[in-house]
Amino acid sequence: MKFTDFLWNSIEGIYSKILQHPFIEGLADGSLAEGAFRFYVVQDALYLRDFARGLAILGAKAPKDEWLMMFAEHASGTIQVERALHDSFFKNWQLTAGDVYNTPMSPTNLFYTSYLLRIAYERPFYEGMGAFLPCYWIYWEVGQKLEKRGSSKEIFRRWIETYASEEYASIVRQVLEAMDQVARELTDKQKEMVRNHFIITSKLEYLFWDMGLNEQTWTV
Amino acid sequence: MKDFHEKLLDQAQEIWNAFLNHRFLKMTADGSIPDEAFKTWMKQDYIFVQEAIPFVAVLLAKAPIQLRSNLIQVLPALERELELFRRNAATHGVELESAVPSPTCYAYIQFLMTTAYTCTFEEGFMVLYCAEKAYLDSWMEVKKNLKIRSPWQDFIDKWTNEEFQQYVDWLATTLNELAMGKPERELRRMQELFLITARYEYLFWEMAATEETWPV
């Protein structure tokens, strides 16, 4: 069994909860409130800025030059995706860059990005990979699932297309291949550390959808 | 002309009042806090204090040389805090070592560590001040309203004693010195971080009162 398959098996329960989440169901059947979707996309733009920086740190720690290049490209690509959100969704909603970047990060968003950055700075390269993988991978799986189901709303279809695209698929395959290569050198204890991060950030992925649906803010 | 730490506290007043008036603190003071709720708090704060050690250690790595000898004292002080938790856990039958961090506890810890790694020394130091000042004020509030000696008296004494007050004073004084001459943009960024830290302080009591768990 590939190490990445072993990782995916660890989050079977979490992943099925994600697919059943009202936010995801709402994207598919068009019932998701546009306010919730807008809230989520704004928070996602804020998230991606930190995610990109996290990828750059992973790149700096990469033992192989090809992985440095991969993460540096992905970091840059993430910012490009984030900018594309502005050119499409934010323009439609007449949200300026100021509107978006002056929005405070919601609690779950701050939790998730803090976790990623902490792990990237503090832990070994292979653990960082484990922590960052769910974001890449779950979005790909969810994108593919939703593309099959289709969506009645054009705006949701556009979002789904990004994560179901062949371009995105090749990025995810690249990082999964790298994780499997890295895992060949790891001890069982080290693999367990990777798996723990993978599980935590998969949970944070679920919580991120939840945050979107509930338009989560700070209670004080 | 107010000191920087006073400006920060003024700005955070709404959040401060929210946690000073939190039912967890009120119930601790009047003795009605359910044992289970206080024990939950103990387990989570034990985890938190354990992680405060690497937080301060990372700040130490970034600290100006003249602050090192004072900042280094915080580490054994945190170790002594852990000892206090262990002693009370033994007395009250609390299983500390097997506790799992709740979402709020975990989120707060990640915020501290990420601040230490990614932010400036001044920003990290200010976050430390905020957390310790919040604790001083919270436990002073409990002490003020305490009718009879609490089963949890050790904790009330720990965070209201002379030593702790002097430590928080030193944090404030040093913070004001660090903030002097800083550009407006940096001070604003520090204010944002102060408010986030204060919010986490409020949410920590809320987490204990509701015995928060992971929804997934």
pLDDT digits (tens, 9 = 90+) for B82-109: 999 999 999 999 999 999 999 999 999 9
The pLDDT of residue A81: 87
Using the Cβ of B157 and the Cβ atoms of chain A, whether some distance falls under 8 Å is answered with no
Q: Is the pLDDT of residue A85 over 90?
A: no
Task: Tell the CATH superfamily of the A3-214 domain.
Answer: Heme oxygenase-like (1.20.910.10)
Q: Which residues of A touch B206 (CB under 8 A)?
A: 219
What pLDDT score was predicted for residue A152?
A: 87
> Is some CB atom of chain A closer than 8 A to the CB atom of B14?
yes
pLDDT at B159 over 80: yes
Taking an 8 Å cut-off on Cβ atoms, the answer to whether A118 and B199 are in contact is: no
User: What distance in Å separates the CA atoms of residue B112 and residue B127, rounded to the nearest whole number?
Assistant: 8
Q: For A5-63, what is each residue's pLDDT tens digit?
A: 999 999 999 999 999 999 999 999 999 999 999 999 999 999 999 999 999 999 999 99
Name the residue in chain B with its Cα closest to that of A106: B196
Say how many CA atoms lie within 13 Å of B161 toward its Cβ: 8
The minimum CA-CA distance between B86 and chain A, rounded to whole Å, is 27
When pLDDT is averaged across residues A190-217 and rounded to a whole number, the result is 98
Instruction: Please tell me the predicted confidence (pLDDT) of residue A87.
Output: 82
Q: Are B42 and B154 in contact (CB under 8 A)?
A: no
Q: Which chain B residue has the Cα nearest residue A57? A: B118
Of A14, A117, A219, the CB nearest to B114: A117
What average pLDDT is seen over chain A?
96
Q: CB-CB: which of A114, A207, A220 is closest to B18?
A: A220
Is it the case that residue A86 has pLDDT exceeding 80? Answer: no
Please determine, for residue B24, whether its predicted confidence score (pLDDT) is greater than 90: yes
What's the pLDDT at B106?
98
Q: How many residues does chain A have?
A: 220
At B1, is the pLDDT very low, low, confident or very high (cuts 50, 70, 90)?
Answer: confident
Q: Can you tell me whether residue A140 is helix, strand or coil?
A: helix
- B-interface mutation test, from A50, A53, A118, most B Cβ less than 10 A away: A118
> What's the Rg (C-alpha) of chain A?
17
Mark yes or no for CB contact A110/B111 under 8 Å.
yes
Contact between A117 and B15 using a beta-carbon 8 Å cutoff? no
Q: How far apart are CA B123 and CA B111, in angstroms?
A: 12
Contact flag A115-B215 (C-beta cutoff 8 Å): no
Kindly determine whether residue B110 and residue A115, on different chains, have CB atoms separated by under 8 Å.
yes
Is the predicted pLDDT of residue B22 greater than 80, yes or no?
yes
Domains in chain B and their CATH numbers?
4-207 (1.20.910.10)
Query: What is the model's pLDDT at position B137?
Result: 98
**pLDDT exceeds 80 at position A171:** yes
- The verdict on B93 touching A (C-beta cutoff 8 Å) is no
The segment with the largest mean pLDDT, out of A88-97, A146-155, A183-192, is A183-192
The arithmetic mean of pLDDT across residues B20-25, rounded, is: 98
Per-residue confidence (pLDDT) for residue A173, from 0 to 100: 98
**Would you call B75 exposed, middle or buried from its count of C-beta atoms within 10 A (0-12, 13-18, 19+)?**
middle
Q: What is the ipTM of this complex?
A: 0.96
Average pLDDT over residues B62-78: 98
3-state secondary structure of A103: coil
The verdict on A220 touching B (C-beta cutoff 8 Å) is yes
A34 C-beta neighbours (distance < 10 Å), count:
11
Query: DSSP letter at B2?
Result: -
pLDDT tier at B56, thresholds 50, 70, 90: very high
pLDDT of residue A82: 81
Q: What pLDDT is attached to residue A53?
A: 98
Residues of chain B contacting residue A110, judged by C-beta atoms under 8 Å apart: 107, 111, 196
Q: Please report how the helices A166-183 and A154-164 are oriented relative to each other, as an axis angle in degrees rounded to 10.
A: 40
Is B212 in CB contact (< 8 Å) with chain A?
Answer: no
Q: What is the pLDDT of residue B140?
A: 98
